[in-house]
Amino acid sequence: MALSAAVKSVEAVGLRTFGGALERLRYGGWPVVQSAVAASLAWYLAEALLGHQRPFVAAIAAVISVGAVAGQTLRRAAEWIFGVALGLAVADLIVLAIGTGVLQTGFIVGLAMTVALMVRGGVMLVTEAGISALLVANLDPTAYGVSPDRFVEALVGGGTALAVSAVFPSDPKARVERTADRTLVTLAAVQRRISAALSGGDLGGAERALEEARGIDARVAELRETLDGGYQIARYSPPRRRTLGHLAYYATAAEQLDLAVRNTRVLARAAVSMVQEQGAAPPALCAAIEDLARAVEALDAYLDRPEHPLDTRSFALDAAAKATAVLRERSDLETSVLVGQIRSTALDLLQASGMHAREALRAMREVCSVAPSEGAC
């Protein structure tokens, strides 16, 4: 019996592992195909058009660039490709002048990144200039001599990667979905930590939630950037134009999600003040913040299937109603600030689910229905 159970357990683990591998392959397999095609095509073009023998730099640049330009705007993709070429050119010149070694490698990388900064490169260009310089710092430059061959090969490789990505693009919707999912999962988790800290009067927990809330901005910025890149892929690549409609839902949600994240950060700061001044918060406030987390999770599901926004709206309105009810019993400053932030976040989530601003405000007023002295939604 024990042996049978062990075998079944191993089989279950194996199936989960295999399933996870297939899932990763489903999301990451297409860039592998793009890289293989781009490397081969870049090698061929450098041989056929430039007459270079064994143009491995073109192939390397193509592989590096395929992953870098995926989901990026045209400007950022061009930055990355130019960064590859710039790093190669600077490294070549310096290696020819001072040779290779431990100190030379650090000097070459630093100088390549400095040059990229001086030409007003973004973070992507600066990083790639350093990577490219490091890559070729220890390759023998005498095979090329003092010539622009490596620089030109890098441009051929990068341009090939850009062309392959445009003609055979990855699915922009899938990329945006993954980024949005990470953002929403993090936001819901932070809101639950705020609720738990308020429920237990846990100052350390509230402070940690505030710190985590501050970190969500980076995820929202990543979502915006991924959306911009996704739109460009969908607009300029005929096979992906059908995704434009779905991306529009994410664009609407992203605008309001940015506001919801900011309001959650203020909510976390208010939670710290509440715990410092009064200890635990009223249970209804904690329950309201839990409802916000449920609304965020429902928003994630809604964005996958935009025809079902009702759960998001129901949880958001429940949160506003529960928070408002607390004001009938107590109206101290800490409670009032928490209630205000819960309402504001709920309003953001209503609009993120596709509800028009006026309609969202009207729905909020209906569920709040408080006297003017208690504050309006």
Place of tokens 């953002």: 183
- What element of type H or E holds 294? helix 283-304
Look at residues 114, 139, 167 and tell me which one is the last residue of a structural domain.
Answer: 167
Q: Report, as an integer, the average pLDDT of 89-99.
A: 73
DSSP state of 120: T
Handedness of CA 330, 332, 336, 338 (dihedral sign): negative
Q: What pLDDT does 141 receive?
A: 53
Asked whether the predicted pLDDT for residue 149 surpasses 70, the reply is yes
**Which own/partner pairs from 279-282 qualify as long-range (CB within 8 Å, at least 24 positions apart)?**
279/201, 280/198, 280/199, 280/200, 280/201, 281/198, 281/199, 281/201, 281/335, 281/338, 282/326, 282/329, 282/330, 282/335
135 and 276 inside one domain: no
Q: What pLDDT does 300 receive?
A: 87
**Is residue 54 left, alpha or beta, with left meaning phi > 0 and alpha meaning psi from -120 to 50?**
left
For 253-311, what is each residue's pLDDT tens digit? 888 999 999 999 999 999 999 999 888 899 999 999 999 999 999 998 888 777 677 88
Q: What pLDDT does 259 receive?
A: 93
182 and 101 inside one domain: no
Q: Which two tokens stand for residue 133?
A: 């310089």
Which of 143-147, 150-154, 346-350, 354-358 has the weakest average pLDDT? 143-147
73 and 206 inside one domain: no
Higher pLDDT among residues 285 and 146, named by residue: 285
Which of 37-46, 132-141, 293-302, 350-359 has the weakest average pLDDT? 132-141
Higher pLDDT among residues 64 and 204, named by residue: 204
354 and 209 inside one domain: yes
Q: Report, as an integer, the average pLDDT of 349-368.
A: 91
125 and 185 inside one domain: no
Q: Which two tokens stand for residue 243?
A: 């995704």
70 and 112 inside one domain: yes
Look at residues 167, 202, 234 and tell me which one is the last residue of a structural domain.
Answer: 167
Look at residues 135, 167, 199 and tell me which one is the last residue of a structural domain.
Answer: 167
Q: What pLDDT does 371 receive?
A: 35
Proportion of the chain above pLDDT 90, given as a percent:
32
Asked whether the predicted pLDDT for residue 61 surpasses 90, the reply is no
Q: How many CA atoms, within 13 angstroms, populate the side-chain half-sphere of residue 297?
A: 12
Torsions phi, psi of 33, nearest 5? -65, -45
Instruction: Grade residue 76 by pLDDT with cuts at 50, 70 and 90.
Output: low
DSSP state of 6: H
The structural domain count of the chain equals 2
For 209-224, what is each residue's pLDDT tens digit? 999 999 998 899 888 8
CATH code of the domain covering residue 227: 1.20.58
Instruction: Grade residue 115 by pLDDT with cuts at 50, 70 and 90.
Output: confident
142 and 220 inside one domain: no
Which of 95-104, 208-217, 308-317 has the weakest average pLDDT? 95-104
Asked whether the predicted pLDDT for residue 356 surpasses 50, the reply is yes
Q: Under DSSP, is residue 292 helix (H, G, I), strand (E, B) or coil?
A: helix
Q: Which two tokens stand for residue 257?
A: 């999600």
Asked whether the predicted pLDDT for residue 16 surpasses 90, the reply is no
pTM for the model stands at 0.66
Q: What pLDDT does 271 receive?
A: 95
130 and 224 inside one domain: no
Q: Whole domain around residue 347: which residue ranges?
A: 172-374
150 and 209 inside one domain: no
CB 183 within 8 A of CB 91: no
DSSP per-residue codes, 298-342: HHHHHHHSTT--HHHHHHHHHHHHHHHHHTTT---HHHHHHHHHH
123 and 27 inside one domain: yes
CB 237 within 8 A of CB 167: yes
Proportion of the chain above pLDDT 70, given as a percent:
77
Higher pLDDT among residues 202 and 68, named by residue: 202
Asked whether the predicted pLDDT for residue 119 surpasses 50, the reply is yes
In whole angstroms, what is the distance from residue 265 CA to residue 182 CA?
Answer: 17
270 and 334 inside one domain: yes
55 and 98 inside one domain: yes
Q: What pLDDT does 370 receive?
A: 47
Which residues, at least 6 apart from 26, have a Cβ–Cβ distance to it below 8 Å?
none
Give how far Cα 20 sits from Cα of 28, 52, 181, Å: 12, 42, 17
CB 35 within 8 A of CB 11: no
